Amino acid sequence: MTGTVYTALFLCTGNSARSIMAECALNRHGAGRFHAFSAGSHPKGHVLPETLELLTRLKYDVTDLRSKSWDEFAGPEAPALDFVFTVCDNARGEVCPFWPGQPISAHWGVDDPAACEGQHDQRMKAFKRAYLELESRIKIFASLRLEALDRLSLQNNLDIMGK
Protein backbone atom coordinates (compact mmCIF):
# COMPACT_ATOMS: atom_id res chain seq x y z
CA MET A 1 0.00 0.00 0.00
CA THR A 2 1.28 3.44 -0.90
CA GLY A 3 -0.27 5.37 1.98
CA THR A 4 -2.44 7.31 -0.45
CA VAL A 5 -5.93 8.14 0.73
CA TYR A 6 -8.32 8.15 -2.23
CA THR A 7 -11.47 10.24 -2.31
CA ALA A 8 -14.74 9.00 -3.75
CA LEU A 9 -18.04 10.74 -4.34
CA PHE A 10 -21.30 8.79 -4.64
CA LEU A 11 -24.07 10.56 -6.55
CA CYS A 12 -27.79 10.08 -6.65
CA THR A 13 -30.59 12.48 -7.45
CA GLY A 14 -31.96 13.05 -3.93
CA ASN A 15 -28.93 12.10 -1.81
CA SER A 16 -31.24 10.60 0.78
CA ALA A 17 -30.70 6.82 0.58
CA ARG A 18 -28.37 4.95 -1.84
CA SER A 19 -25.57 7.50 -2.08
CA ILE A 20 -25.64 8.02 1.70
CA MET A 21 -25.43 4.25 2.27
CA ALA A 22 -22.53 3.97 -0.19
CA GLU A 23 -20.68 6.81 1.52
CA CYS A 24 -21.00 5.07 4.88
CA ALA A 25 -20.02 1.66 3.52
CA LEU A 26 -16.85 2.89 1.80
CA ASN A 27 -15.81 4.91 4.83
CA ARG A 28 -16.16 1.71 6.90
CA HIS A 29 -14.70 -0.88 4.52
CA GLY A 30 -12.06 1.41 3.07
CA ALA A 31 -11.02 3.03 6.35
CA GLY A 32 -7.51 4.42 6.07
CA ARG A 33 -7.46 4.10 2.26
CA PHE A 34 -10.60 5.98 1.24
CA HIS A 35 -12.56 9.02 2.25
CA ALA A 36 -16.05 8.88 0.81
CA PHE A 37 -18.66 11.58 0.30
CA SER A 38 -22.14 11.66 -1.19
CA ALA A 39 -24.26 14.27 -2.90
CA GLY A 40 -27.27 14.72 -5.15
CA SER A 41 -28.21 16.67 -8.24
CA HIS A 42 -31.52 17.65 -6.60
CA PRO A 43 -31.02 16.87 -2.91
CA LYS A 44 -34.12 16.24 -0.82
CA GLY A 45 -32.65 18.24 2.04
CA HIS A 46 -32.99 15.34 4.48
CA VAL A 47 -31.87 11.74 4.76
CA LEU A 48 -34.81 9.33 4.62
CA PRO A 49 -35.78 7.88 8.02
CA GLU A 50 -35.45 4.32 6.67
CA THR A 51 -31.87 5.05 5.61
CA LEU A 52 -31.03 6.33 9.08
CA GLU A 53 -32.80 3.40 10.74
CA LEU A 54 -30.93 0.82 8.67
CA LEU A 55 -27.54 2.47 9.12
CA THR A 56 -28.13 2.78 12.87
CA ARG A 57 -29.00 -0.95 13.03
CA LEU A 58 -25.73 -1.63 11.19
CA LYS A 59 -23.84 0.37 13.84
CA TYR A 60 -22.98 3.41 11.72
CA ASP A 61 -22.75 6.83 13.30
CA VAL A 62 -25.47 8.80 11.50
CA THR A 63 -24.98 12.04 13.43
CA ASP A 64 -23.42 14.07 10.62
CA LEU A 65 -25.19 12.55 7.62
CA ARG A 66 -27.05 15.08 5.50
CA SER A 67 -28.52 15.47 2.05
CA LYS A 68 -26.40 17.90 0.05
CA SER A 69 -25.92 19.23 -3.46
CA TRP A 70 -23.20 18.01 -5.75
CA ASP A 71 -22.30 21.70 -6.19
CA GLU A 72 -20.41 21.41 -2.88
CA PHE A 73 -17.91 19.16 -4.66
CA ALA A 74 -17.44 21.21 -7.83
CA GLY A 75 -16.00 24.39 -6.32
CA PRO A 76 -12.40 25.38 -5.70
CA GLU A 77 -12.61 24.52 -1.97
CA ALA A 78 -13.91 21.02 -2.64
CA PRO A 79 -11.71 17.99 -2.02
CA ALA A 80 -9.94 16.63 -5.09
CA LEU A 81 -11.84 13.55 -6.23
CA ASP A 82 -10.26 10.32 -7.42
CA PHE A 83 -13.56 8.50 -8.10
CA VAL A 84 -17.14 9.50 -8.87
CA PHE A 85 -19.87 6.85 -8.83
CA THR A 86 -23.50 7.30 -9.83
CA VAL A 87 -25.76 4.89 -7.96
CA CYS A 88 -29.09 5.72 -9.58
CA ASP A 89 -30.08 5.76 -13.23
CA ASN A 90 -31.43 9.34 -13.07
CA ALA A 91 -28.10 10.75 -11.90
CA ARG A 92 -26.28 8.75 -14.56
CA GLY A 93 -28.18 10.56 -17.31
CA GLU A 94 -27.71 14.05 -15.92
CA VAL A 95 -25.03 16.47 -17.00
CA CYS A 96 -22.62 16.52 -14.07
CA PRO A 97 -20.55 19.48 -12.98
CA PHE A 98 -16.90 19.56 -13.96
CA TRP A 99 -15.00 17.56 -11.36
CA PRO A 100 -11.49 18.93 -10.80
CA GLY A 101 -8.71 16.37 -11.21
CA GLN A 102 -10.41 14.16 -13.82
CA PRO A 103 -11.67 11.48 -11.45
CA ILE A 104 -12.45 8.01 -12.73
CA SER A 105 -16.21 7.57 -12.94
CA ALA A 106 -18.49 4.56 -13.04
CA HIS A 107 -22.18 3.78 -12.84
CA TRP A 108 -23.24 1.36 -10.11
CA GLY A 109 -27.02 1.54 -10.48
CA VAL A 110 -29.11 0.13 -7.66
CA ASP A 111 -32.91 0.01 -7.48
CA ASP A 112 -34.38 2.88 -5.48
CA PRO A 113 -35.53 1.54 -2.11
CA ALA A 114 -37.59 4.70 -1.55
CA ALA A 115 -39.79 3.64 -4.47
CA CYS A 116 -40.92 0.56 -2.53
CA GLU A 117 -44.49 0.90 -1.37
CA GLY A 118 -45.96 -1.13 1.41
CA GLN A 119 -45.61 -1.72 5.09
CA HIS A 120 -42.58 -0.64 7.06
CA ASP A 121 -41.07 -4.15 7.04
CA GLN A 122 -41.33 -4.37 3.25
CA ARG A 123 -39.71 -0.96 2.85
CA MET A 124 -36.90 -1.88 5.23
CA LYS A 125 -36.21 -5.04 3.20
CA ALA A 126 -35.83 -2.87 0.09
CA PHE A 127 -33.40 -0.56 1.90
CA LYS A 128 -31.40 -3.53 3.20
CA ARG A 129 -31.28 -5.08 -0.29
CA ALA A 130 -29.96 -1.81 -1.76
CA TYR A 131 -27.37 -1.51 1.02
CA LEU A 132 -26.14 -5.09 0.56
CA GLU A 133 -25.80 -4.63 -3.20
CA LEU A 134 -23.75 -1.48 -2.73
CA GLU A 135 -21.72 -2.98 0.11
CA SER A 136 -20.71 -6.02 -1.95
CA ARG A 137 -19.36 -3.78 -4.74
CA ILE A 138 -17.66 -1.50 -2.24
CA LYS A 139 -15.90 -4.38 -0.48
CA ILE A 140 -14.47 -5.53 -3.81
CA PHE A 141 -13.50 -1.97 -4.75
CA ALA A 142 -11.85 -1.36 -1.36
CA SER A 143 -9.81 -4.55 -1.73
CA LEU A 144 -8.33 -3.63 -5.12
CA ARG A 145 -4.62 -2.83 -5.26
CA LEU A 146 -5.26 0.51 -6.95
CA GLU A 147 -1.59 1.40 -7.15
CA ALA A 148 -0.98 -1.71 -9.28
CA LEU A 149 -3.66 -0.87 -11.87
CA ASP A 150 -3.34 1.55 -14.77
CA ARG A 151 -6.24 3.92 -15.40
CA LEU A 152 -7.81 1.83 -18.18
CA SER A 153 -7.65 -1.42 -16.17
CA LEU A 154 -9.14 0.31 -13.16
CA GLN A 155 -11.94 1.80 -15.28
CA ASN A 156 -12.72 -1.63 -16.73
CA ASN A 157 -12.83 -3.19 -13.25
CA LEU A 158 -15.21 -0.50 -11.97
CA ASP A 159 -17.48 -0.87 -14.99
CA ILE A 160 -17.65 -4.64 -14.52
CA MET A 161 -18.51 -4.19 -10.83
CA GLY A 162 -21.42 -1.98 -11.83
CA LYS A 163 -23.08 -4.67 -13.93
At 137-160, the pLDDT tens digits run 999 999 999 888 888 998 888 988
Q: Mean of the pLDDT values across residues 6-22?
A: 95
Number of domains in the chain: 1
Specify if 31 maps to a domain. yes
Specify if 109 maps to a domain. yes
Q: pLDDT tens digits, residue range 101-140?
A: 789 999 999 999 999 998 999 999 999 999 999 999 999 9
Specify if 163 maps to a domain. no
CA angle 21–62–163, rounded 5-degree value: 5
Q: pLDDT tens digits, residue range 87-100?
A: 987 645 555 666 76
Specify if 16 maps to a domain. yes
List of long-range contacts for 127-133, beta carbons under 8 Å, 24+ apart: 127/17, 127/21, 127/50, 127/51, 127/53, 127/54, 128/54, 130/17, 130/18, 130/21, 131/21, 131/25, 131/54, 131/58
Question: Would the CA dihedral through 114, 107, 161, 44 be positive or negative?
Answer: negative
Decide if 81 contacts 103 (C-beta within 8 A): yes
Sequence-separated (6 or more) residues with CB below 8 Å from residue 162: 106, 107, 108, 109, 137
Closest by Cα among 64, 65, 84, 66 to 74: 84
Active site residues: 12, 88, 96
The Cα–Cα gap between 41 and 127 comes to: 21
Q: pLDDT tens digits, residue range 61-82?
A: 999 999 999 988 888 888 889 9
Domain with 47 in it: what CATH number?
A: 3.40.50.2300
Task: Specify the pLDDT at position 156.
Answer: 87
Specify if 1 maps to a domain. no
Specify if 162 maps to a domain. no
pTM of the model: 0.91
Task: Specify the pLDDT at position 1.
Answer: 38
Domain carrying residue 38: 6-156
Q: Is 98 left (phi over 0), alpha (psi -120 to 50) or beta?
A: beta
Q: Mean of the pLDDT values across residues 52-56?
A: 98
Q: How confident is the model at residue 52 (pLDDT cuts 50, 70, 90)?
A: very high
Task: Give start and end residues of each alpha helix (H) in 44-150.
Answer: 49-57, 89-93, 120-143
Task: Specify the pLDDT at position 161.
Answer: 87
Closest by Cα among 41, 24, 34, 42 to 134: 24
